Amino acid sequence: MSSIIQLTNITKFYQVGEEKVHALDGVSIQIQKNEYVAIMGPSGSGKSTLMNIIGCLDTPTSGLYELNNTNVSDMNDNQLAKIRNKEIGFVFQTFNLLARSDVLHNVELPLIYGGIGSLERKKLARAAIERVGLTDRIHHKPNELSGGQRQRVSIARALVTQPSILLADEPTGNLDTKTGDEIMMLFDTLHKEGNTIILVTHEDDIALHAHRRIRLRDGKIEVDEPIKNRKVITRPTTVMA
Amino acid sequence: MKFAFDEFKEGMAIAFAAIRANKMRSVLTTLGIVIGIVSVTLMGTAIEGLDRAFNKSIASLGSDVLYVQKWSWGNHNDDWWIMKNRRNVRIKQAKDIEKYSEYAQAVNPATGARRSVTYGQKLVENVVIIGTGAYWLETSGSTVAFGRFFTPIEADGGRPVCTIGSEVAANLFPNENPIGKNIKIGGYAYQVLGVFDKQGSFLGLESLDNRVYVPINRFFQEFMSQRSDLQIMVKAKSVEELDNTKEEIRGILRRSRGLKPKDQDDFAINQQEMLIQTFNTIGGVIAAVGLFITGMSLFVGGIGIMNIMFVSVTERTREIGIRKAIGAPRRTILLQFLMESAALCLIGGIIGIIIAFPISLIIDTFLPTAMPLSVVFIALLVSIIVGVVSGFLPAYRASRLDPVDALRYE
């Protein structure tokens, strides 16, 4: 009903030489609005494939994927691009910023592809940058920023289109613990503000920030449970530039 | 699907950022296009020059003048050997045309030889001596700057008088008035009556000013046999009557040369029109071959662009992945790379024109010409087209990249 993501019996096969690899084998998940979900699993468990499918970067071999009650499982490339642009905010482990563009341009890029006019775009981008506390770095290039700052830029870029879900793939994987904690606090705050967050990670520590844990093994859901002993960082998430 | 201007602007920005980021590579790649555009525009300029030179020269022949000769100017329906073995066109034919033709306004026989011309200690070698009747001015359209041409009486009497070309005058009389002076042509004394206006050269080759005109009757005595081959220029009373004039003269000539009814014409009546036709055929072939050959270099340049665009796409696979992940549709990626290659080629085209322009000025000094504006526009258009065409395949490949693979690319 009000679920944002409805995955029904999703499978994904890859043909590797002679062999058929089941990356996902009958996965069904429902995610409600404003949920905070951690997807976990060892490498090869299918969590990257699941993330790609949820992120509309890839389509399932079979099964139904409804995002906001729209069937996206058999959309074409360009339709998927539009969905990614409007509905999904990606935060990558390696930040994936455009190296030659400054912070502002990186953040406004999704709005350019979304066809938002220049004035409106700048306004939204500045707001998103302010939200992650990087207003004073707005004209810096990624290589002039620290890892934590880069990840903040990538979060701002994910937020700027006000997507239905924030999809973070190992967002702290390339950061030291302290910076990682800061980023996770930012996610916590974003969740409190009403965002739906899906966190892909293999670190239990990071997963503890979420409300629900889905553990995959060999392309199947092994565990899908609420997290009781949540890790709550009480320090305020003010600007840490 | 609406085309966003911002998307275009983004594409432009990316294109120029990419070109700037790889300066050396961009310069080297563009060089191919530069060379291609330089050669094509210069070829276009040269062809333009050839056209101009021809049209200028051809205008001097006059559209209302017929040229009676052994040789035909037209496409060779007649064999060269047959034409060579024809009887010479003689002075008698000129006299007969003058006597019998009703359509002819002026008839003027002419022939030429090369001799040295001297005045005192000054010597000009290899001057073309034209033996002609009194109606050279009327039939050739050339004009006398000062002094005069010789009269029919002087011509018929074979007086030792001459009118000289401006170049000869400049060489023999740098500080003197040549009128009334006696010069020696091939050792024979002639009095200068006048000097021609400067005329330039025919087809950019032979100067029309390095000439001396003498009465043909005198010419026959001193430079060449009466039996030698002539050209008879016949000016028609009007251009409209040119065909009738031609037919009439043909009849007169056949009678004058004693041809029987079944004999073929052993002479040709040429007109400007035939030369234009011949030139258009030859000129068209030269232009086509020239542009084809120079176009090859542009083609090679285009291959260079395509090659470097493939490199660029591979290098930026990850960037493409990022852009796709955050929602760039295929056409945007396609556009981005097309604009990059088009921009590369356009820059090459502009540089090419900047280089070609001074070279065209150098060409202008020996073959009067100017780089036509149309060539400039076509060159720029062609370079953009080359960019789009050679960029298409790499750009298409980029636009089809799978975002998952592209993001994973190291």
Of B4, B326, B331, the CB nearest to A90: B326
What total number of domains does chain A contain?
Answer: 1
* pLDDT score for B3: 54
CB contact, 8 Å: A25 with chain B? no
Cβ neighbour number for residue A126 with a 10 Å cutoff: 17
* pLDDT score for A241: 43
Enumerate the H helices of B212-367 as residue ranges: 216-222, 242-256, 272-315, 317-325, 330-366
Shortest distance, CA B322 to any CA of chain A (angstroms) = 6
* pLDDT score for B58: 76
**Residues of chain B contacting residue A118, judged by C-beta atoms under 8 Å apart:** 6
**Residues of chain A contacting residue B318, judged by C-beta atoms under 8 Å apart:** 96
**Residues of chain B contacting residue A57, judged by C-beta atoms under 8 Å apart:** 324-325, 403-404, 407
| Domain with A83 in it | 3-226
B356-365: average pLDDT: 89
Put simply, the answer to whether A57 touches B404 (Cβ < 8 Å) is: yes
**Residues of chain A contacting residue B11, judged by C-beta atoms under 8 Å apart:** none
Q: Provide the pLDDT confidence category of residue B1 given band limits of 50, 70 and 90.
A: very low
**Residues of chain B contacting residue A78, judged by C-beta atoms under 8 Å apart:** 329-331
Q: Is residue A34 part of a domain?
A: yes
pTM beyond cutoff 0.90: no
Shortest distance, CA A168 to any CA of chain B (angstroms) = 13
B336-353: average pLDDT: 92
Q: Is residue A40 part of a domain?
A: yes
Put simply, the answer to whether B7 touches A57 (Cβ < 8 Å) is: no
Structural domain spans, chain B: 5-57+278-408, 104-237
* pLDDT score for B368: 78
pLDDT digits (tens, 9 = 90+) for B260-309: 888 888 888 988 888 788 888 888 898 899 989 988 999 999 999 999 99
Alpha-carbon span B343 to B299, nearest angstrom: 17
Q: What percent of chain B has pLDDT over 70?
A: 97
Least confident stretch, A12-21, B15-24, B68-77, B387-396: B68-77
The first and second tokens of residue B16, run together, are: 């120029």
Residue A1: pLDDT over 80: no
Select the more confidently predicted residue: A19 or B132: B132
Binding-face residues of A in 148-207 toward B, CB within 8 A: 157, 161
Residue B81: pLDDT over 70: yes
* pLDDT score for B4: 65
Beta carbons of A67 and A4 less than 8 angstroms apart = yes
pLDDT averaged over every residue in chain B: 88
Sign of the Cα pseudo-torsion (B93, B98, B104, B105, in order): positive
**For residue A198, what is the domain's CATH number?**
3.40.50.300
B130-150: average pLDDT: 90
Select the more confidently predicted residue: B172 or B59: B172
Alpha-carbon span A65 to A56, nearest angstrom: 10
Q: Provide the pLDDT confidence category of residue B75 given band limits of 50, 70 and 90.
A: low
* pLDDT score for B266: 87
Residue B132: pLDDT over 90: yes
Residue A43: pLDDT over 80: yes
* pLDDT score for B34: 94
Q: Nearest-CA neighbor of B322 among A142, A115, A147?
A: A142
Q: B144-171: buried (b, 16+ CB within 10 Å) or exposed (e) per residue?
A: beebebbeeebbeebbbbbbbbbbbbbb
**Residues of chain A contacting residue B328, judged by C-beta atoms under 8 Å apart:** 81, 85, 113
Alpha-carbon span A198 to A212, nearest angstrom: 10
pLDDT digits (tens, 9 = 90+) for B174-197: 988 999 999 999 999 999 999 999
Q: Is residue A237 part of a domain?
A: no
pLDDT digits (tens, 9 = 90+) for A197-241: 999 998 888 899 999 999 999 999 999 999 887 776 655 555 444
pLDDT digits (tens, 9 = 90+) for A96-129: 999 889 999 999 999 999 988 889 999 999 999 9
Put simply, the answer to whether A57 touches B403 (Cβ < 8 Å) is: yes
Alpha-carbon span B376 to B383, nearest angstrom: 11
Put simply, the answer to whether A112 touches B10 (Cβ < 8 Å) is: yes
Shortest distance, CA B362 to any CA of chain A (angstroms) = 44
Residue B172: pLDDT over 80: yes
**Residues of chain B contacting residue A161, judged by C-beta atoms under 8 Å apart:** 327
Q: CA torsion angle for A149, A155, A156, A158 (degrees, to 10)?
A: 150
Beta carbons of A126 and A135 less than 8 angstroms apart = yes
Vertex A57: Cα angle to A64 and A217 (nearest 5): 65
Put simply, the answer to whether B327 touches A121 (Cβ < 8 Å) is: no
Phi, psi of A127 (to 5 degrees): -65, -45
Of B7, B17, B327, the CB nearest to A84: B327
Of B6, B322, B329, the CB nearest to A96: B322
Q: Is residue A149 part of a domain?
A: yes
Nearest CA in chain B to A84: B327
Residue B78: pLDDT over 80: no
Alpha-carbon span A147 to B340, nearest angstrom: 31
Q: Provide the pLDDT confidence category of residue B311 given band limits of 50, 70 and 90.
A: very high
Put simply, the answer to whether A81 touches B321 (Cβ < 8 Å) is: no
**Residues of chain B contacting residue A160, judged by C-beta atoms under 8 Å apart:** none
Q: Is residue A210 part of a domain?
A: yes
Q: Look up the ipTM and state it.
A: 0.91
Put simply, the answer to whether A84 touches B326 (Cβ < 8 Å) is: yes
Q: What percent of chain B has pLDDT over 90?
A: 46
Of B6, B321, B328, the CB nearest to A81: B328
Query: Tokens 């944002």 — which residue?
Result: A4
Put simply, the answer to whether B321 touches A96 (Cβ < 8 Å) is: yes
Put simply, the answer to whether B330 touches A77 (Cβ < 8 Å) is: yes
Q: Provide the pLDDT confidence category of residue A20 given band limits of 50, 70 and 90.
A: confident
Of A78, A84, A118, the CB nearest to B325: A84
Q: Is residue A125 part of a domain?
A: yes
Shortest distance, CA A235 to any CA of chain B (angstroms) = 31
Q: Is residue A71 part of a domain?
A: yes
